[in-house]
Amino acid sequence: MSARGTLPRRDFLRLGAAGAGGLLVAFTFPSRAVAGPSRAGLDAAAEAVELNAFIHVGTDDVVTLFIHKAEMGQGTVTSLAMLLAEELECDWSAIRTEFPGVDPKYGRSQGVYGSSSIRGSWNPLREAGAEARERLIAAAAARWNVAPSACRAERGAVINTVSGARLRYGALADAAAALPGPSNPRLKDPSQFELIGTPVPRLDTPAKVDGTAAFGIDTRVPDLRYAVIARCPVFGGRLARVDDARARQVQDVLDVVTVSTGVAVVARNTWAAMQGRQALEITWDEGRYAGNTSDSLRRMFTDLTATPGDEARAEGDALAAIASATDARRVEAIYDVPYLAHAPMEPLNCTADVRADRCEVWASTQGQSAAESAAMRVTSLPRERVTIHTLYMGGGFGRRAGSDYVGEAVEISKAIGAPVKLTWSREDDTQHDTYRPASVVRFSGAIDEDGWPAAVHARAACPSFRGPRPGVDRTAVEGLANMPYGLPHLRVEYHNPDAGVPVSYWRSVGYSQNVFFTESFLDELIAAGGRDPLEARRRLLAHEPRLLRALDVAARAAGWGTPLPDGHGRGLAVSDNIGSFTAQVAEVSVDRDRVVVHRVTCAVDCGQVVNPAIVAQQIRSGIVYGLSAALKGAITLTGGRVNETSFGNYDVIRMPEAPVVDVHVVPSRENPGGIGEASTPGIAPAVANALFAATGFRARRLPIRLPATS
Amino acid sequence: MAVEFTLNGSRRTVDAPAEMPLLWVLRDTLGLTGTKFGCGLSQCGACTVHLDGRAVKSCSVPMRNVAGKAVTTIEGLSAGGPHPVQQAWVALDVPQCGYCQAGQIMAASALLARTPSPTDADIDLAMRGNICRCGTYEAIRAAIHRAATLAQGGAR
């Protein structure tokens, strides 16, 4: 318990499992014996034996499952534990989970992004469970001197099927660990799954209900100092000079140090650090983007779309098809969306302790490997001298895939020679995000003589995460260039504008804006042809059986085509991101100047379901998240700086506005798809299309603002 | 200044600036990290605690206003046995990331203390100051109704 941070990586794993710690890194929290064990009372006091990178078995029969990913609410801890436990045949009530450190045995890059945890772990983790199970069986068979085929595993024990004898895993672990692993562990047939496919309660719920769950921001270590950083309000700007005399006089302020992103104030508590920061007198060199406003950027993007861009998709001859269409069969429209902040509930933060020969980092991060790289870069320490502790994230949504805040904390600790917790204020979080990029798409399209959509030409202007560079950024056009509709003529072009605003992954990434653009403009074409939105989509998705099935399930469940109250309308949208297939029907009306979303029906085919309760949670979550963007969110700029500061002017969906979401999981035996980002893209267009159906108003810009009524 | 108050049933005295918010005394000075920092501006509800039984945003309560009062945090909510709100939260598996849930639970428990059988409209009014970015609102609403039933001795 006292050997804090001095252990090499491997001992850390052993101690973490065998020590009196809980989930995460409880041995670094001596004052908090229950820093988040996944099951009350399972603190694994007994000696534990490592069977493989993911599974340790204690002599007390408690099984520790190592979750090499991270938890931001998406249910990874529970779902990955289910994959391991399904094949291990352990007793689900006698497991505990733990986040290991960064280690190559968990793959090249540890992190959670792209809704990839289940997809990437589906085979490896079941195989790890099966491998451990077969070794436990082999150990029992040797003990009984029978063939392994005469044994089977069941609820944490091996049963001798001939004699009926029974040996608990805890009594077999030592012998099993000494055996060579089977080369080809046999995986269960899905028909035999006992855990997978069932709504197992989340392992992290109890700790998240009694306040003991340890988030990154809750880290406490001896001698801890607290810091905030003043950063240049203009993107691309830098520190010119600072006068910290007044800041140093603030009660409880300990130090002021310059770091690469600005000026850090270090204090005895976070509040004092914030007071100290307010007392700094700083002159910034604002740099070359100081003249930007969000309006000027949007005009620049829009002007770009008037010129040909790089070709991202070409089917048939869209330009000719549209040019030859009569005015009545041609539709043109310009769509745009703003920059968006992620606004996770837990503001960015990181605790770091840099010493001459080592560096420890405690972080709520989506990118453990990225955090390790950041710490190595700042300290110049080798990999084996850097330890990353993974803690629960209070939301991530893509923001925590970055490691800027980790590098900052490590810089401060290195400068002051003491452990420090860096906390971003909500204003920092809102004004120094890496934003979902603003984007403009100029569309033209044509319908055929029967009124069906026949041609679409789209020119997108959307900054790439990789900065200004030639060529098509596939991430910026995903959901547009690869739209699933079988249009005879489709042309997509791309421009990469230099806007100087930091941009990065935001839940569902390019799909977050492009599905709004695609599904809304398609709806315009369908309306121009006088066709039914469901029937037209069905025709254009005839070659996409999984989307088609989701569409049919959602439409039927929502009662598509049945009468609605006066003033209500229904809208449709589909999305096929992250290997899953969703269809949504939104029902909306207008109350004075406000769009009211009454109900959303969402059907999802995400392949083999691991935990249907978590799937339903994620579908609802993604819809509420996307609805904030559809109805509320916009980051705007004046003088190169962000105007919005907090939830007061960057508001999000709150309880009274949250719709009822009706989730339908389409049964599937396909390999699992992702789920965390599946439902976010479709909600904005489903609402916009429903608004059109209800009122005739076509929303071509997010967030949706109704036209002023006179 | 030395501030004396009752915290989760025990008398405490802390030395803190009079204007220092309760939130930071709880988290940084006393190490009670169940109460969360979300915005510092009373706009998100993550820091909700009970002050003399009333739900308040601890980020905006200066210590001078805490003197002589009783503070209950998430760590002290179940002091008298498992609180129905927490039981309902577990039964319905409400949390996702979980960061806002301590604040949600404190707001919900204060609501039920004065309105034992809240309507949906009561819930909307009481909970609109508590943001959940994971969008667990539907589950929270159901769990509040469940807790109301539990508190009144109802089975399930």
Q: How far is B81 from chain A (nearest CA, A)?
A: 12
**CA gap A206, A97 in Å, rounded:** 13
Q: Which residue in B33, B46, B78 is closest to A218 by CB distance?
A: B33
Which chain B residue's Cα is nearest to A646? Answer: B39
* pLDDT tens, position by position, A407-439: 999 999 999 999 999 999 999 999 999 999 999
Q: With contact defined as beta carbons under 8 Å apart, do A635 and A502 qualify? A: no
CB neighbour class for A616 (10 Å; exposed up to 12, middle 13-18, buried from 19): buried
**CA gap A361, A375 in Å, rounded:** 8
pLDDT of B93 > 60? The answer is: yes
Q: With contact defined as beta carbons under 8 Å apart, do A589 and A690 qualify? A: no
- Residue A28's pLDDT band, with cuts at 50, 70 and 90, is very low
Question: Across residues A487-510, what is the average pLDDT?
Answer: 97
Question: Across residues A626-636, what is the average pLDDT?
Answer: 98
Q: How far is B36 from chain A (nearest CA, A)?
A: 8
- Residue A181's pLDDT band, with cuts at 50, 70 and 90, is confident
For residue B127, give the nearest of B23, B46, B58 by alpha carbon.
Answer: B46
**CA gap A390, A39 in Å, rounded:** 18
pLDDT at residue number A44: 53
**CA gap A65, A82 in Å, rounded:** 10
Q: What's the helix, strand, coil split of chain A in %, to 5?
A: 35, 25, 40
Q: How far is B61 from chain A (nearest CA, A)?
A: 13
Residues of A in contact with B135 (CB under 8 A): 620-625, 653, 658
Polymer length of chain B: 156
For residue A378, give the nearest of A265, A260, A262 by alpha carbon.
Answer: A260
Q: The tokens of A684 are what?
A: 């904005």
**CA gap A517, A480 in Å, rounded:** 8
The verdict on B14 touching A (C-beta cutoff 8 Å) is no
* pLDDT tens, position by position, A438-493: 999 999 999 999 999 999 999 999 999 999 999 999 999 999 999 999 999 999 99
Which chain A residue's Cα is nearest to B91? Answer: A201
With CB atoms and an 8 Å threshold, state whether B134 touches A621: yes
With CB atoms and an 8 Å threshold, state whether B89 touches A201: no
| For chain A, percent of residues with pLDDT exceeding 90 | 90
The C-alpha R_g of chain A, in whole angstroms, comes to 27
pLDDT of A8 > 60? The answer is: no
Virtual CA dihedral for A576, A579, A580, A583, nearest 10 degrees? Answer: 0
Helix, strand or coil, per DSSP, at residue A147:
coil
pLDDT of A1 > 70? The answer is: no
pLDDT of A564 > 70? The answer is: yes
- Residue A43's pLDDT band, with cuts at 50, 70 and 90, is low
Q: What's the helix, strand, coil split of chain B in %, to 5?
A: 40, 15, 45
Q: With contact defined as beta carbons under 8 Å apart, do A194 and A66 qualify? A: no
Burial state string for B64-102 with b = 16 or more CB within 10 A and e = fewer than 16: ebbeebbbbbbbbbbeeeebbbbbbbbbbbbbbbbbbbb
For A380, left (φ over 0), alpha (ψ -120 to 50), or beta? left
Residues of A in contact with B129 (CB under 8 A): 654
- Residue A39's pLDDT band, with cuts at 50, 70 and 90, is very low
* pLDDT tens, position by position, A507-534: 999 999 999 999 999 999 999 999 999 9
* pLDDT tens, position by position, A303-353: 999 999 999 999 999 999 999 999 999 999 999 999 999 999 999 999 999
pLDDT of A5 > 50? The answer is: no
Burial state string for A190-215 with b = 16 or more CB within 10 A and e = fewer than 16: eeebebbbeebebbbbbbbbbbbbbb
**CA gap A439, A515 in Å, rounded:** 12
pLDDT of A94 > 70? The answer is: yes
**CA gap B28, A423 in Å, rounded:** 12
Which chain A residue's Cα is nearest to B40? Answer: A426
Virtual CA dihedral for A699, A704, A708, A709, nearest 10 degrees? Answer: 70
With CB atoms and an 8 Å threshold, state whether B36 touches A346: yes
pLDDT of A13 > 60? The answer is: no
pLDDT at residue number A107: 87
**Amino acid identity at A355:** R
* pLDDT tens, position by position, A357-388: 999 999 999 999 999 999 999 999 999 999 99
The verdict on B122 touching A (C-beta cutoff 8 Å) is no
**Amino acid identity at A527:** A
Which chain B residue's Cα is nearest to A392? Answer: B97
Question: Across residues A56-70, what is the average pLDDT?
Answer: 95
pTM: 0.94
Q: The tokens of A224 are what?
A: 């801890």
Which chain B residue's Cα is nearest to A660? Answer: B138
**CA gap B134, A396 in Å, rounded:** 10
Q: With contact defined as beta carbons under 8 Å apart, do A405 and A433 qualify? A: no
* pLDDT tens, position by position, A216-243: 999 999 999 999 999 999 999 999 999 9
| For chain B, percent of residues with pLDDT exceeding 90 | 96
Size of interface A-B (CB pairs under 8 A): 179
Specify the pairing of strand A439-447 against strand A238-243.
unpaired
* pLDDT tens, position by position, B5-32: 999 999 999 999 999 999 999 999 999 9
Q: The tokens of A243 are what?
A: 């006068």
Which helix (DSSP H) or strand (DSSP E) does residue A55 occupy?
A: strand A55-58
With CB atoms and an 8 Å threshold, state whether B136 touches A621: yes
Q: Which residue in A220, A272, A646 is closest to B43 by CB distance?
A: A646
Chain B, residues 21-60, CB within 8 A of chain A, namely 21, 24, 27-29, 31, 33-41, 43-44, 46
Residues of B in contact with A74 (CB under 8 A): 96
Contacts of A189 (CB under 8 A, 6+ apart): none
* Neighbouring C-beta atoms of residue A456, cutoff 10 Å: 28
Burial state string for A223-240 with b = 16 or more CB within 10 A and e = fewer than 16: ebbbbbbbbbbbbbbebe
Question: What is chain A's mean pLDDT, rounded?
Answer: 93
Residues of A in contact with B46 (CB under 8 A): 345
**CA gap A379, A361 in Å, rounded:** 12
What strands lie across the sheet with A262-267, from one edge to the other? A253-259, A262-267, A225-231, A420-423, A349-355, A358-363, A386-390
pLDDT at residue number A45: 56
- Residue A115's pLDDT band, with cuts at 50, 70 and 90, is confident
Q: With contact defined as beta carbons under 8 Å apart, do A15 and A7 qualify? A: yes
Which chain A residue's Cα is nearest to B120? Answer: A656
For residue A609, give the nearest of A553, A663, A557 by alpha carbon.
Answer: A663
The verdict on B83 touching A (C-beta cutoff 8 Å) is no
pLDDT at residue number A113: 87
What is the secondary structure of B108-142 as a DSSP string?
A: HHHHHHH-SS--HHHHHHHHTT---TT--HHHHHH
With CB atoms and an 8 Å threshold, state whether A217 touches B37: yes
Residues of B in contact with A72 (CB under 8 A): 97
**CA gap A136, A171 in Å, rounded:** 10
| For chain A, percent of residues with pLDDT exceeding 70 | 93
